Amino acid sequence: MVTSNFEEPWLSVSPPDLENLFKLDPYLKLHGNEIKRRYYHYKKLVDSLSANEGGLKGFIESYKTFGIHVQPDNSIRCLEWAPGAEGLFLKGDFNSWSNISHPFNKLEFGKWELIIPPNPDGTPAIKHGDKLKIGVLTMRGIIEDRISPWATYVVQPETSIIYDQVFYNPSERYTFKSKKPLAPTNIKIYESHVGISSPDYQVATYDYFREKVLPRIKKQGYNAIQLMAIMEHAYYASFGYQVTSFFAPSSRYGTPDQLKRLIDEAHSQGIYVLLDIIHSHACKNVDDGLNRFDGTNSHYFHDLPRGEHTLWDSRLFNYSNWETLRFLLSNCHYWLEEFQFDGFRFDGVTSMLYHSHGIGHGFSGDYNEYFGLNTDTESFNYLQLANHVIHHFHPNAVTIAEDVSGMPALCRPVSEGGGGFDYRLGMAIPDKWIELLKECSDEEWNIGNLVHTLSNRRWKEKTIAYAESHDQALVGDKSIAFWLMDKEMYDNMSTITPLTDIISRGIALHKIIRLLTHGLGGEGWLNFIGNEFGHPEWLDFPRAGNNSSYHYARRQFNLVDDELLRYKFLNNFDRAMNTLEEKYRWLSADDSGYVSWKHEDDKVIVFERAQCVFVFNFHPTKSFPDYKIGVDEPGKYKIVLDSDAEEFGGFKRLDHSVEFFTSPEGFAGRANSMMIYIPNRTGIIFARHYGY
């Protein structure tokens, strides 16, 4: 028998803070070797990138050299990577669309270069606003029109559905005036889509959002916005999730400088700006997308089935490819540096993490599901690398993972062997609310299971809580307001009409569903544009199936501005909830919320967080006078938020002048107790009065 002393190389390379990870989650020790293996491959990538092409910083600044750029002498340099092409040609308005007058020269490693000298008068040979295409001579001997993968501005002409690259070189570029705000420790995100932000039947603009919507967001108490559908997408109805040009802000809302002005204005108001970034897949478009740029099926993507996402009908990146890493890491740096975005919400992380892309996978929580052969190490290493680049070169940046699988350590530092994200989205929470609203009557709600869903998150891995996002607003689903009130929202939301049972229930539950999620669900909060006031309709973009209608592709802020409509009550409550959190900061509190009471028959939940006592009564009919609750800190307490208050469309059954004194008699595992009145379908927050 032959024996060997060979040891796998990754066993000798450990993340520097691995022991800290094991302290936080001892179950991970069983998978320590796999964590080391992943980290070993990540470290090899970092070392290789750092040792070549001017180091890591030079690598992520590749967007400054690739694509089409004006040089200091006004010559124009074009650089592309197209290893499968037989030739490249630049054509456009500047050369009367000649197919062959401006050929690229072939360089090493599949790169192609073209230098166009300036005009005799010293001006660039290509004018600002000129339309361009790259002609790619494929292996089939045919020249096919393409758009540069590095294009920074693309526009759809009126006479075609195919986008054109537009040379963007204005004589004056927008200069940022405001400093970036610090990353909020109690982040409250207003998830936004510029195009739908107007009540009008049209695509809203960057300027409109800046002038009309930003003031609303600020007034509502949000300290961050997440801009969706910014990376250019040829199909509006894709909601921005089928990206065609990764470096181009969508031209349907305005110019790149107008987007910069929007972000600058947000910063001037202290609002942190996140970009919804899509690095999990790309649109399959060939004529105006990234797909088959050099005429081959691979290029930036995997070939054969591994390069296809069957459910999304899109292409999947090859994260082991050097030039794919250049493209995507540069893309991260580009948006943070050139547009001054503050951070990212990474879309489709679950799809990236697993070879199955999470399709048909329920994820039971068994750790073998996360550390087995189904996990895509190359994708995980890319996410580690992206987070390293983002946080190293932009220390104030925040990254959020859209992950439904609950992969352990995804939101722990890369130095511990984790994924490096700051937050993950609490995607199980909205699913639970929809399940309850869709399948159960109020009396059947399982309070214990609800509390478990809201509080079940990985220790020291921060979560963004939300009751609903854009996913629940899309046509085919319903927002919480629609699940609660449906068609009655069209006839009975006026204050001059009688309050019906359905509207009464809907307004009451809408408030306490959001407050419970806000208070117990995570370390951050997210709301989708319009949901703060219970937007009455779903979201559906103009498409062939609805006769290209904009009726559902807009947010009707006119409804909340109408004093005769009850939407104002929900809006008022949302603002009060955010304002109170800013005072007590439960989202950034050290404790995640101590639940002392969850009573199935009474439908009552009590928990403490950030020196506040949260009390909820979800019972449809029962109110409870002299209800005993446990309180840890002794003293005098007062009501600081009451969902039943008149300004929130409630029945004002609570007297806010009443002071509540604790008794030293312990209750529900707490050292003290007090007696309170809890009306049905009401949420209350008590705060200790320190003048006592």
pLDDT digits (tens, 9 = 90+) for 66-109: 999 999 999 999 999 999 999 999 999 999 999 999 999 999 99
The mean-pLDDT minimum among 121-135, 301-315, 319-333, 466-480 falls in: 466-480
User: How far is CA 251 from each of CA 225, 430, 564, 580, 594, rounded to the nearest angstrom?
Assistant: 20, 32, 37, 38, 48
Strand, helix or coil at 670? Answer: strand
**For residues 464-498, b (16+ Cβ closer than 10 Å) or e, as one string?**
bbbbbbbbbbbbebbbbbbbbbeeebeebbeeeee
Three-class DSSP labels, 326-394? HHHHHHHHHHHHHCCCCEEEECCHHHHHECCCCCCCCCCCCHHHCCCCCECHHHHHHHHHHHHHHHHHC
The DSSP result for 500-516, as a single string, is -HHHHHHHHHHHHHHHH
Binned at pLDDT 50, 70 and 90, residue 7 comes out as low
Question: Right CATH number for 594-689 from 3.40.50.150, 3.30.70.3340, 2.60.40.1180, 1.10.10.60?
Answer: 2.60.40.1180
Token pair of 437 as six digits: 């609203």
What pLDDT does 1 receive? 38
The DSSP result for 127-161, as a single string, is -TT-EEEEEEE-TTS-EEEE--TT-S-EE--TT-S
| Helix 567-584, helix 501-520: angle, nearest 10 | 20
Q: Do domains 63-166 and 594-689 have the same CATH topology?
A: yes
Cβ neighbours, 10 Å, residue 34: 18
424-451 per-position pLDDT tens digit = 999 999 999 999 999 999 999 999 999 9
The mean-pLDDT minimum among 158-162, 211-215, 289-293, 676-680 falls in: 158-162
What pLDDT does 648 receive? 98
- Between CA 54 and CA 633 the distance in angstroms is 58
What pLDDT does 361 receive? 84
Domain residue limits, the chain: 63-166, 594-689
CB of 557 closer than 8 Å to CB of 536: no
Q: How many angstroms from the chain centroid is the CA of residue 249?
A: 16
Q: Which long-range contacts (CB under 8 A, 24 or more apart) does 6-12 make?
A: 8/33, 8/37, 9/40, 10/36, 10/37, 10/39, 10/40, 10/41, 11/36
CATH topology of domain 63-166: Immunoglobulin-like (2.60.40)
Has residue 6 got a pLDDT over 70? no
CB of 299 closer than 8 Å to CB of 324: no
Token pair of 565 as six digits: 């409509």
Binned at pLDDT 50, 70 and 90, residue 690 comes out as confident
**By CB neighbour count within 10 A (0-12 exposed, 13-18 middle, 19+ buried), where does 455 fall?**
middle
CB of 367 closer than 8 Å to CB of 28: yes
Q: What does residue 43 show for φ and ψ, rounded to 5 degrees?
A: -65, -40
User: How far is CA 309 from each of CA 112, 351, 380, rounded to the nearest angstrom?
Assistant: 30, 9, 17
Q: Measure the CA angle with vertex 601, ends 600 and 605; round to 5°.
A: 50
What pLDDT does 677 receive? 98
| Residues facing residue 624 across a β-bridge | 678
- Between CA 355 and CA 302 the distance in angstroms is 12
239-295 per-position pLDDT tens digit = 999 999 999 999 999 999 999 999 999 999 999 999 999 999 999 999 999 999 999
Q: Which of 505, 523, 502, 526 is nearest to 514 (CA)?
A: 526
Q: Which of 409, 372, 404, 416 is nearest to 280 (CA)?
A: 404
Largest CA distance in the chain: 91
459-497 per-position pLDDT tens digit = 999 999 999 999 887 877 789 999 999 999 999 999 999
Q: Which of 557, 573, 587, 529 is nearest to 190 (CA)?
A: 529
Q: Which helix (DSSP H) or strand (DSSP E) does residue 485 occupy?
A: helix 480-485
Q: Tell me which residue has tokens 């984790």.
A: 418
Q: Which of 124, 160, 168 is nearest to 258 (CA)?
A: 168
Binned at pLDDT 50, 70 and 90, residue 360 comes out as confident
Binned at pLDDT 50, 70 and 90, residue 2 comes out as very low
Q: Tell me which residue has tokens 């007090």.
A: 674
Q: For the sheet containing 682-689, what is the strand order?
A: 594-599, 604-609, 612-617, 682-689, 636-642, 660-661
CB of 92 closer than 8 Å to CB of 130: yes
Over residues 365-379, mean pLDDT: 94
The DSSP result for 653-668, as a single string, is -S-TT--EE-BSS-BT
Percent of the chain, pLDDT > 90? 93
Over residues 205-214, mean pLDDT: 98
Question: Which residues participate in catalysis according to the annotation?
Answer: 347, 402
Token pair of 649 as six digits: 């469309």
Binned at pLDDT 50, 70 and 90, residue 691 comes out as low
Over residues 307-329, mean pLDDT: 97
